[in-house]
Structure 1
Amino acid sequence: PQSPNWANWAIPLTIAVGETSMAIFAMTFLDLRRRRPLMHRVFVGFVIFQLLMLAITPLIGYRPAILIETAGVFVIAVMILTAALMLIRDGYRPARYFLLAWTALLVGVVAYALVSFGLLPKIFLTEYGIQIGSALEMTLLSFALAFRIRDLENEKQRLIRRSRDQLEAQVAERTRDLNEAMKELSELNLRLHEHSLRDGLTGAYNRRFVDQHVEAMRQRCAEGQQPLSVLMIDLDHFKQINDRYGHLVGDDCLRTVADVLHSQLLNDEEKLVRWGGEEFVILLPGVGHQAALQRAEQIRSNLAACPSTVQNQSVQLRTSIGVASADAAQLESVACLLESADGALYQAKRGGRDRVVVGQIAGCIKDETSDLR
């Protein structure tokens, strides 16, 4: 009463604030930013216009301001209806409840606007249409918000499930990658272990292989009631080859010998070992004395018939071989059998080289009488 001018300005200003609030609420509830970006920009433009009207209303006069704001009621009503219908068509369920709630308010607002333009008579329902519509709107929006909250909870649960599924998939993928890496590492370790048991020059096994595996070989033969034979092979006059042609040529000769010896192995159980220098050992599980002797003679003759060409000159490879065989179940140790083959090898050397000699194994056989005692 004390400020009639302010009372006049308060009406269009209040309408502007109300229309702005309606636009912001509709944008938020209907999730227009994500679901309808173009319609969201239209609503943002309307809000900006209303904020501008709040600033210029005192400058343009009461009647123009009230007419613009009243027209804005129709605009926001159409915008809200359009947005709600679009989202209903998109299958967004909360939009149906939102439209039902806002229809009550919009009817009251439109009725009030039509009264302002003199298009409807001023009666209780039209004059207080906004208040009546607001009461109905709040009641219906409470239901709409309940459905919205439920949908948000469902969406949250869906996102949680999807995140859990993605996490489980990532864990499974990482586990698979880890298992593959562990498998590769295991294979690499196996190759490294295998490499550590090999002679770098010839590719034959080294003495470490004998230390780690030969007892298991004897045990398998003993369990199968099989013999075990050893061939100790040495190149004759190899030092002369090194002195005359050099160690590189000597290495080539060793590789040639190793290739020939490898070709004489009949199965995977038979093993070629570089014992040291120009000496090689062939382990023959399951091969008896007579067969081992024949194999040794064949190896000696094959090496003699396989000259190595060095600096355009043919180098004859002669070998001395010591043979030792025993029943694996009666054998004291493989080391004893190796000593027997080594002794036979040196007998071949002293006997003129390029020959095969059989070693004595009497000292390698277990004393059965002592076992019985």
Structure 2
Amino acid sequence: MTYVCYHTASPETPAYTAQSPTQLPNDMSWSSAQGHDLVFTQTDSVYWIQVNLKNTSEETGFWYLKLSYPLLDNVTFWQSGHATPATMATGDRHAFGTRAVDYRYFLLPVTLGADGARTITLRIQSSGALNVPLSLVTPDEVIGESNKLTMTHGMFYGALLILAVFNILLFFSSRTVYYFHSAFFMTTLGLFMFAMGGFANQYFWPDTPDLANTSIPVSLALCSLAMLLFSRSFLEAGKKTWPDRIMTSLIWVSSGFLVLTFILPYTTTIAMNTILGVAVISCMMLVSIARLRQGYQPALWYVSAWITMLVGVVIYALAAFGFIPNFLATEAMMQTAVGGQVVLLNYAMVQRWRLLNEKLLAVESRARSEMESRVHERTSQLRNTMRELEKANRQLAVLSLNDSLTGLSNRRHMDTRLPELRAESIRKGAPLTIALIDADHFKRINDTWGHGFGDVFLQMIAEVLKKHAQRPRDMAVRFGGEEFALLLPDTDLTGTLSVCENILDDIQNTEVETPDGNFTSITVSAGIAALNANESITDLFKRADKALYKSKSDGRNCVTVASSTILNLA
């Protein structure tokens, strides 16, 4: 190739509408390529390119003029030096069969006799960026390069397919959703690379040029959507957190862009979806860095994967949009970046599985230890109380132990429990105290507002008793009408007196709303007695009842401690 020159024909110039070299203006100016690949950013212009060839050999030679960029809409070749100029009109806006050779790049057969010369003219128009890497190669070079690239691409796409199938199998076996999203991501990424490399046009839809063009932005939008779905399921940011909101919003944006891809022109959608892809990768890096700082260790390899991917995507996009030359080199680098990312992502999933497995084993071990400790503790307790519980269970099957109005223990329960507490007190030498409590002037409450409102006061008194008899063995009892009792084992008279004084104070200061909208309160009187050595329950009750009677006669709303002997206060 001895000389390459080009001309940019903007829409308002005659060269723009020219459909053959013979229609070009004679005074049209040409610019030299100066030995560089021709690279042009996205434009509406038509590009005319001339390649002047000369065979300096003494033998006839056969070559291919190769244009190594598959994503050009319309490419027309003209060869001079024939009696009738040879023409080939092709591009990815044409059926794949319009190409002279079944190959993903554009190959124009060129035959030059000894010391022969030839001028090849190209007319190129495309809705995207224009990369025009031209080279003159022999058939052996084409075959050698094709064999090398076939092996490279076969390994690349084969590895993606195998990993995608492997992740699908993991999904069906474990029902873990991020395996499915990983397979979805690798599949869409492979389809995008397949379409960008010209293979989809060659093998999937050779006779449907419109579908071949639409497949690129569609697969790019699907790739962004798959990235987000995988990231959200893998990173486990938690519902309604800011990383989850960002990923969810981008999922909706990607879905919208996918729909717009079928509506808007190719030039708009390819740029739009490329920007979306770069934005998604950048956001996923930020989210993964945030998760890593929160202590989520698998995010370390996830960050490394997206850094690798971002570098490859940016360089590949710059080459695809015509900002940097040598698209072939950037394609190979993009495949390397994708391979590195896929390896790192799969390693991140392995680390995540390892972390979950370690957590599961730790939880299982901790649960086993706690269970053994609790079983040992409860077994020891049950051995000491089994006989008493069996007796209590037999009684519970027959008797109702609670007062239905207040929820306190009833008289039957007290009559059953008190002998047991007395026997335990005598055996251990521990104190046992009983307090009898009676509401003051309760008949006035019932006469004034009715028995229903009286029940409200009884429930209020019961709540106060529960509040102050909180120990497991303390018992608050309603044993008739407005009469209550407290059984306080392991409590001496001083402690019981303090409890009763607090109860009287609480009840006196608790106001209840009356049916007529006013508020009123009530007082109670109490008498307490501590069990004497070998004293019967009957005598204990008599002394407590005498103390209660004394509190009533002393003006009510007070506590009286019973003497150690039964006194006749009548």
Q: TM-score, normalised by structure 2?
A: 0.31
Structure showing the higher strand proportion among its residues: 2
Q: Which has the higher contact order (CA 8 A, sep 6+)?
A: 1
Q: TM-score, normalised by structure 1?
A: 0.46
